[in-house]
C-alpha cells in the first residue's frame, strides 16, 4: 500500500525511519476513539463469506485509509462493472464486495474472501471504465489464483518476525528498519504473480467486452503519477500507491500490450468514457480537509483549528500517523503529531520522561509559542541530531521533532521558524478550507493544455498533472468539445 520506492531517496527514508521510531504514536490528530463509517459497496453476485480475520483486516483498512467514500454514482458504476466481470469469469460463483476508500492515494487490493478495495485517488486517475475494469479484474485475478491467500500466510509469518525484533531490540533504527521491510514484504506480490494476474485480468476484461488495452493505459498513468510523487515519504500505508505493490515497469506495460493484442476483437473495444467521466465528476481529489491537508509548505487542520508552515525546500506529506517533512537532499527531516500527556504533567517533564532516547535533560526549556505553553529539548542519535518541541493546544499536546544530519545554524533556524508558525486558524480560513475536486468540462475553441492547466487549483506540476489525469502524451493537444478533467477548489 505506499508511494515511493525505498531506493529513490535513502537519506530521506533514513530520516523518516528515525522519526517514526521516536515513540508510541497511536493515531494522528484525533484524541477521541474514531467511529467507523458504513462502507459503500458494490452489490455482490453472491454474499462474501466473512471470517474473523477478514473482518479485522477490513476495519484496519478503513482506519488506515480515512474510512469509506460514499458516492452513489460511483457505487453504481463499480457494481455494474463487477457484475459484467463476474459474468465473464470462469468462477461466477465467487462473490466480491467492493469498498471505495476515502483516500487520495492510488491503490487497490484484495482479501482472500473476495473483498476488493479501490481508493478514490485511483478512480480519479483512471480515464474510462475499461481502465477501472482492468484494476478490478486484476484484483479479482489475485483472488481467483489464490495469490491473496498466499500473501495472507506471508503476512502472518512477517508479523511473528516483527514481534521478535521489536521485543529483542532496544535499537530504534533496527526496529524501524525491520518494520519498514516487513510492510514492503507484506505489500508485494511476486513478479510471477503480478504477470499471472495481469494475464487473467486482461482476458477477463476482454471477455466482458471491455477494451483490453485499458490495463496498459492505466499502468502508464500509474507510472506518470508515481513520477510526480518523487520526494514523498514511503512510510504511510494510506499514502502507499498501486505502483508499490503492483510495479508498473516498462516490461509489465509491454506484456500488458502484448496480452491485449491476443484479445483484440470488434466486441472487446468498449471504453465507456462518457459514462465514466459523468460518474467521477465532482469526486474529491487529494486529501480530505477533515483529516488536515497540505497546501504547498503549509499544513492546515480546519477541524481542529490550527496551521503551521514548513521551511523553504521542505516537502510536506500528511500520513496516517503524522505530518512528515523532508528537505531536498534528505539531510533534514521533521515530524508533527499528537501525543497524550496528562494535564498535571508539565511539558518539560514529558520531554524528559523517556519516550525518546538520547534526550539532553539539561537542554530542556519551558517556553511560550504564540501564547501556547510549550517546552523544547535537544537529543542525539548515532547519525542524527534532534530538536524536539511539545506544545499544548487546548486539551491536546502536539509534538514537533526535527532531525538533521549535522546541527547547523540553518537547521536550528528551520526548526524555530516552523514551530513559531504554529497558530490558530481564523474563522475565514476554516470556512475557506474546502476539498479539491475533479471537474469534468468541455474543451472550448482556443483552449490549450497550458490554458486549462492554469485553471487547476491547489496542485503541484499542474501541466504534467493535467496531462496525466487526461491520458495525454507529452506533445498531445486538446480539441474543442473534448471532455477533460481539471482539479478545482
Q: DSSP states of 175-195 as a string?
A: HHHHHHHHHHHHHPPPHHHHH
Helix extents (H) in 21-171: 52-64, 72-88, 120-125, 129-144, 147-168
SS3 198: helix
Q: Which domains does the chain have, with CATH numbers?
A: 36-285 (no CATH), 289-431 (3.40.1000.10), 435-488 (3.10.350)
pLDDT of residue 252: 85
C-alpha grid cell, residue 429: 480560513
pLDDT of residue 248: 53
Whole-number Å distance between alpha carbons of 155 and 177: 17
C-alpha grid cell, residue 362: 539539561
By the 10 Å C-beta count (0-12 exposed, 13-18 middle, 19+ buried), 475 is classed as exposed
Contact present, 114 and 76 (Cβ < 8 Å) = no
pLDDT of residue 406: 85
C-alpha grid cell, residue 331: 539531510
Phi first, then psi: what are they for 46, rounded to 5°?
A: -135, 170
Alpha-carbon dihedral sign for residues 197, 203, 208, 212? positive
Contact present, 42 and 98 (Cβ < 8 Å) = yes
Whole-number Å distance between alpha carbons of 295 and 214: 32
pLDDT of residue 192: 78
By the 10 Å C-beta count (0-12 exposed, 13-18 middle, 19+ buried), 382 is classed as exposed
SS3 59: helix
C-alpha grid cell, residue 349: 517533564
Whole-number Å distance between alpha carbons of 1 and 243: 9
**Residues 125, 130, 134, 135: what is their CA dihedral angle, to the nearest 10 degrees?**
40
| Nearest to 24, CA basis, from 238, 164, 175 | 175
- List all residues 6 or more positions away from 293 whose beta carbon is below 8 Å from its beta carbon: 286, 287, 299, 300, 301, 318, 433, 435
What pTM did the predictor assign?
0.71
402's enclosing H/E stretch is strand 396-404
Whole-number Å distance between alpha carbons of 334 and 356: 15
Phi first, then psi: what are they for 361, rounded to 5°?
A: -60, -30
Whole-number Å distance between alpha carbons of 202 and 133: 9
Whole-number Å distance between alpha carbons of 36 and 30: 13
C-alpha grid cell, residue 16: 523518516
Whole-number Å distance between alpha carbons of 174 and 166: 9
| Nearest to 17, CA basis, from 241, 330, 377, 309 | 330
Alpha-carbon dihedral sign for residues 120, 97, 59, 32? positive
State the residue for C-alpha cell 533496527: 174
324's enclosing H/E stretch is strand 323-327
C-alpha grid cell, residue 74: 460511483
Whole-number Å distance between alpha carbons of 34 and 136: 29
Whole-number Å distance between alpha carbons of 465 and 460: 8
Low-confidence ranges of the chain (pLDDT < 50): 1-27, 30-45, 151, 154-187, 231-241
Contact present, 356 and 22 (Cβ < 8 Å) = yes
pLDDT of residue 189: 63
Contact present, 338 and 399 (Cβ < 8 Å) = yes
Partners of 108 in the beta sheet?
A: 118
Return the ∠ at Cα 376 (arms to 375 and 379), rounded to 5°: 145
Whole-number Å distance between alpha carbons of 330 and 468: 27
Whole-number Å distance between alpha carbons of 176 and 181: 9
Amino acid at each position: 500500500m505506499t508511494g515511493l520506492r525505498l531506493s529513490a531517496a535513502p537519506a530521506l527514508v533514513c530520516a523518516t525511519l528515525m522519526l517514526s521510531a521516536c515513540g508510541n504514536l497511536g493515531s494522528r490528530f484525533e484524541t477521541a476513539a474514531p467511529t467507523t463509517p458504513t462502507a459503500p459497496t458494490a452489490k455482490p453476485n453472491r454474499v462474501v463469506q466473512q471470517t474473523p480475520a477478514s473482518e479485522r483486516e477490513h476495519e484496519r483498512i478503513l482506519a488506515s485509509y480515512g474510512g469509506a467514500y460514499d458516492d452513489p454514482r460511483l457505487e453504481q458504476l463499480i457494481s455494474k462493472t463487477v457484475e459484467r466481470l463476474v459474468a465473464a469469469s470462469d468462477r461466477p460463483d465467487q462473490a466480491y464486495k467492493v469498498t471505495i476508500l476515502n483516500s487520495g492515494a492510488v491503490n487497490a487490493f484484495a482479501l482472500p474472501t473476495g473483498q476488493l478495495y479501490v481508493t478514490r485517488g485511483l478512480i480519479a486517475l483512471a480515464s474510462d471504465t475499461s481502465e477501472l475494469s482492468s484494476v478490478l479484474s486484476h484484483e479479482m485475478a489475485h483472488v481467483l489464483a489464490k495469490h491473496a491467500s498466499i500473501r495472507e500466510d506471508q503476512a502472518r509469518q512477517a508479523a511473528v518476525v516483527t514481534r521478535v525484533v521489536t521485543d529483542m531490540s532496544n535499537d530504534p533504527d533496527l526496529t524501524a528498519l525491520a518494520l519498514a521491510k516487513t510492510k514492503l514484504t507484506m505489500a508485494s506480490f511476486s513478479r510471477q504473480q503480478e504477470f499471472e494476474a495481469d494475464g487473467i485480468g486482461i482476458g477477463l476484461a476482454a471477455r466482458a467486452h471491455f477494451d483490453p488495452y485499458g490495463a496498459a493505459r492505466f499502468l502508464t498513468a500509474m507510472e506518470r503519477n508515481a513520477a510526480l510523487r518523487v520526494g514523498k515519504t514511503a512510510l504511510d500505508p494510506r499514502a502507499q500507491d498501486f505502483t508499490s505493490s503492483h510495479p508498473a515497469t516498462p516490461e509489465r506495460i509491454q506484456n500488458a500490450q502484448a496480452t491485449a493484442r491476443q484479445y483484440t476483437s470488434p466486441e472487446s473495444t468498449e471504453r465507456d468514457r462518457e459514462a465514466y467521466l459523468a460518474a467521477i465528476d465532482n469526486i474529491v481529489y487529494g486529501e480530505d480537509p477533515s483529516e488536515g491537508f497540505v497546501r504547498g509548505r503549509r499544513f492546515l487542520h480546519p477541524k481542529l483549528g490550527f496551521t503551521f508552515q514548513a521551511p523553504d525546500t521542505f516537502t510536506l506529506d500528511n500520513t496516517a500517523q503524522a505530518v512528515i517533512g523532508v528537505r531536498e537532499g534528505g539531510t533534514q527531516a521533521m515530524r508533527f503529531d499528537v501525543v497524550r500527556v496528562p494535564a498535571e504533567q508539565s511539558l518539560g517533564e514529558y520531554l524528559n520522561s523517556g519516550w525518546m532516547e538520547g534526550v539532553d535533560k539539561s537542554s530542556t526549556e519551558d517556553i511560550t509559542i504564540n501564547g501556547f505553553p510549550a517546552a523544547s529539548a535537544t537529543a542525539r542519535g548515532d547519525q542524527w541530531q534532534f530538536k524536539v518541541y511539545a506544545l499544548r493546544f487546548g486539551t491536546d499536546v502536539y509534538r514537533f521533532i526535527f532531525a538533521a544530519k549535522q546541527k547547523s545554524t540553518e537547521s536550528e533556524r528551520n526548526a524555530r521558524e516552523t514551530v513559531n508558525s504554529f497558530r490558530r486558524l481564523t474563522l475565514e480560513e476554516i470556512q475557506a478550507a474546502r476539498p479539491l475536486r475533479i471537474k469534468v468540462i468541455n474543451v472550448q475553441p482556443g483552449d490549450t493544455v497550458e490554458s486549462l492547466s492554469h485553471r487547476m487549483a491547489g496542485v503541484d506540476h499542474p501541466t504534467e498533472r493535467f496531462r496525466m489525469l487526461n491520458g495525454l502524451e507529452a506533445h498531445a493537444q486538446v480539441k474543442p468539445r473534448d471532455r477533460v478533467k481539471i482539479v478545482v477548489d
